[in-house]
A and B are shown apart, each in its own frame.
Chain A
Amino acid sequence: MIRNVSKLLRRKKEKKRLDQREAKPQEKLHANFDQNVETFRSIYTNCSDVLFRSFLLFGKTRAMIIHIEGLSDVKGLEDYVLSPLMKETADTPQSFNEFLENKLSVSKVEKVHLLADCIESISSGNPILLCEGEETALSLGLAKWEKRSIEEPQAESSIRGPREGFIESLGVNTSLLRRIIKSPALKIQPMKIGEYTKTNVAVAYIEGLADPTLIKEVNNRLQRIEIDAVLESDYIEELVEDNPYSPFPQILSTERPDVACANLLEGRVVILVEGTPFVLIAPISFFSLMQVQEDYYQRFVISTFVRWLRYLFLGVALLLPSVYVAVATFHQEMVPTTLLLSIAAARETVPFPALVEVLIMEVAFEALREAGVRLPRQIGSAISIVGALVIGQAAVQAGLVSAPMVIVVAITGIASFMLPRYITGMSIRILRFPLIFLGGTLGLLGVVMGVIAIVIHLCTLRSLGEPYLAPLAPLKKKELKDMLWRAPWWMMNTRPHFTGESNAYRQSPHQVPNPEGDKGKRQGRR
């Protein structure tokens, strides 16, 4: 009863909040110049960074330019707008349109009727030009602000491959995509999300490769978002995910344009967000998390080997500590005798049970890692010294932890960093802890139960409707070429299935290099 009432109340409150949000000012600009100026001044009271510049258009008409300091190209404004317009010329243009075409030497100019649009234009850096006697204002495409230069991505470095990374500016980011994919089939749909931030978001896809229903789904999910601010793409990631409670990322993020483009070309959708170098890629599968750009930039034999190494270390990162605890406390007969003897010798002075020992070490390791990320770079070395000395040596010498345990934790730590993306490593790291508990309480039986639970969970996961374990479950034999191994490029003939059947081939088959055969052909021709 009480629950029902409270539910009802809550729903009412939510509705009220929604009503508030939807009140978007539809007010139009006035024909009266003074009134317009007054409106703007009242909107921007106490905004010291908004500049109002009034002048006489061709020495006759009153006009005003409104822009925000630092967001617009001041020199351009002076040279191409103010100086030509302030000249007293004999032939005053007859109409507004003519004036637009002939006198303004700015490439991107838009007519604006609504007050709200004016404000949006001003806040995105485009100055607004108001003239006396006109109901429309002009938005001048002179936005220009300070931004970082394009640098090598910090979180995803590679030895071979492009060294460009996305930056915080959306315009630059889309240009980076366009520079790689020149076809006009690359579509970029703009969108604004965030009540206060009005963050520019762009959905990029390739027409003809991406499934139209997928694009519709992405748009639907994005349009559903009502939020104050989008400061990073993770806001959007969490709001559009299929299973919000899962520890596994269902949307990939990358700061590499080449990775984004590769995924676009496989029919996926890329969501770019203003203000962050991390763009989102969806739909993905679990195995996308195991792939790195470099897999495709080096010989396939090496890539396949490295990929399998990654799979192996995924298992190690997830299971090694829990299996160690389980074997050391339940299944001592499983260890080779000499190994057990040395473990026994090392553990002799340790006062804690193996479960507690591994927990202490794992938590300490996680703390060290987190501290290392947050610390200013200058102090970073201090952490590594303290970590290596205290955790590594002193703890063993003091007999608090055993040396084999240090080795296990160290290997596990390295293994979790083997996973290509930091976030993937994190989800594996978190899952390690319940597994350690299970291993320490139920032995290998518990570990197996935990693994089964994780696999079941992975099976239920979806990324924008695509099964998370594809192409393994459901089995798609053709796509195993990019999962079990990295097939050489001359075998990568078909695209992944979600690009649709209509455009299944990405290249012409039979491109195996065959110099001997070619020679024969050439001679034959002669």
Chain B
Amino acid sequence: MLVEKKRNSFIKCALLFLSFSGSLFLLSGCWDRVEINDLAIITAAAIDKKDVNQVELSLQIFIPKAMGGGQGGEGGSGGENVTFVISQAGVNIADALSKLQADFPRKIFWGQCKVFLFGEELAREGVYESLDFLLRHPEPRERGYVFVSKGKAKNILAMKTNLEPYSGEAVREIATLGSGLAVTLQDFDELLTGASQGAALPYMKVASKKGDKESSYDYTSFIGAAVFKKDRMVGDLSRKETRGLLWLKNEVKEYTVTVRPPGEKGELSFTLGTVQVKVDPQIKNKEWKMKLDVKVTGMVIQNGTNLDVNDPNSLKIVQQAFQKSVKQRIEGVIGTAQHKLKADIADFAEEFHRKYPKQWKRVEKRWEEVFPNVKVQVQVNAEVRRQGYINQPEKAREGVDNE
């Protein structure tokens, strides 16, 4: 009896399950189900200003056929492009996108787009409207990187690359390498809407090496940083200043410092070991002050001077030179930001906000005026920890051999 009941309930369950799972197939389209074959995968996107009140959206789209997967070695990206660029103008991005989609056989898919480029012209006019789309639309990644291009951003998309399969990937790889700035969409948004309302984005252009037909090629050159105040680009930093900015943001990774110690003929180069940047905002007697404490260790990788780093006296000279060089870099970028651009790109505002919330409230509205007057004190403690595989400078060693 009991067994029978159990069996009946089992059959009931099984029937329910079968009808339930059977009806899954009748659901037309299965919601957002889409095969990879029907996707146009965006690898990079560029947004430029077109005419008055018009933006031009350019998308770098991946061509699966060009990779020639599955068919064995015949494919490869020898000279063939694996991407192509489509572009369309519209009153805003959404408009341009819908126009693009209307003429395109596959569904345009933002999910893998990790590179967003703003043309300089658009950047100078304001990016809030474009940012709104990129942040609001569910598909674009917030962790994609944002760049500003000198000239039209579309040109970067169309550029041919040598090592990476397409230019979007090349740009992204450079950003993740850590030698320059790397700002994601989310960072950018947080900086612009945060306390400081200033941000710096990597700034680049298409450069070309001229040569004969075979050896000339194009490449993306990072020429510094584009500085934003609110949503507008107000100026740019040079390469050296951008590096200084990296110190301020504590994002220094791949970095080589080359210095010439006083009284020497050659140069010494260091790579960095550990880098510690401590930011300490202080308000004393209504005077706003920022104390920066930088601790850095370096390794000698090239020594063109006659100084033997083994010798404590020479080491002192070298370290002082190292220290001075780092300090100069940092102070340089602070000077530009405070006095020339008046944009708080190092996010000092947030530091003050955190430590002195009451005082911050009072200046919040007029931070723009306060920021240039913040006194910045940079203290660098540089140490040379390693000297490489050889002790004496090569110059000195040769001298010994000759004796």
Contacts and interface: CB of A to CB of B under 8 A. Distances in A.
A349 interface: yes
Contacts of B27: 441
B24 A441 contact: yes
Interface string A335-348: 10100111111111
B188 interface: no
A335 B25 CA distance: 25
A349 to B, nearest CB: 7
A413 interface: no
B111 A333 contact: yes
Contact of A332 (B24, B67, B112): B112
B15 to A, nearest CB: 14
B70 A341 contact: no
B33 A328 contact: no
Interface string B106-139: 0001011010000000000000000000000001
Contacts of B67: 341-342, 344-345
A439 to B, nearest CB: 11
Q: Is the interface of A mostly helix, strand, loop or mixed?
A: helix
A329 B21 contact: no
A345 B69 contact: yes
Contact of A245 (B10, B21, B30, B71): B10
B65 A437 contact: no
Contacts of A354: 35-36
Nearest to A357: B35
Nearest to A7: B4
Contacts of B37: 344, 347-348, 350
Counting chain A CB atoms within 10 Å of each CB, the highest count among B36, B62, B139 belongs to: B36
Contact of A342 (B30, B69, B111, B114): B69
B69 A348 contact: yes
Given A330-B33, A402-B70, A341 B41 contact: yes
A350 B62 CA distance: 18
B323 interface: no
Given A329-B33, A329-B34, A345-B65, A442 B39 contact: no
A227 interface: no
A399 interface: yes
Interface residues on B, range: 35 or more
B103 interface: no
Contacts of A342: 67, 69
A341 B61 CA distance: 11
A354 B30 CA distance: 14
A397 B43 CA distance: 28
Contacts of A245: 10
Interface string A228-265: 00000000000000000100000000000000000000
A157 B203 CA distance: 65
B178 interface: no
A204 interface: no
B18 to A, nearest CB: 11
Interface in A476-524: none
Contacts of A441: 21, 24-25, 27, 30, 33
Contacts of A350: 37
Nearest to A333: B111
A403 interface: yes
Contacts of B114: 337
B385 to A, nearest CB: 37
Contacts of A133: none
Interface string B25-48: 101001011111101010100000
Pick the 3 closest A-B CB pairs, nearest first.
A333-B111, A345-B69, A345-B67
Given A330-B32, A347-B35, A441-B27, 20 more contacts: A328-B35, A329-B33, A330-B33, A332-B111, A333-B109, A333-B111, A337-B114, A340-B112, A341-B82, A342-B69, A343-B69, A344-B41, A345-B67, A346-B69, A347-B64, A348-B37, A348-B64, A348-B65, A349-B70, A354-B35
29 contacts: A245-B10, A328-B35, A330-B33, A332-B109, A337-B43, A337-B169, A340-B112, A341-B41, A343-B36, A343-B69, A344-B41, A344-B62, A344-B67, A345-B65, A345-B68, A347-B36, A347-B37, A347-B64, A348-B64, A348-B70, A397-B72, A437-B24, A438-B21, A440-B30, A440-B33, A441-B21, A441-B24, A443-B32, A443-B33
Interface of B: 10, 21, 24-25, 27, 30, 32-37, 39, 41, 43, 62, 64-72, 75, 82, 109, 111-112, 114, 139, 141, 165, 169
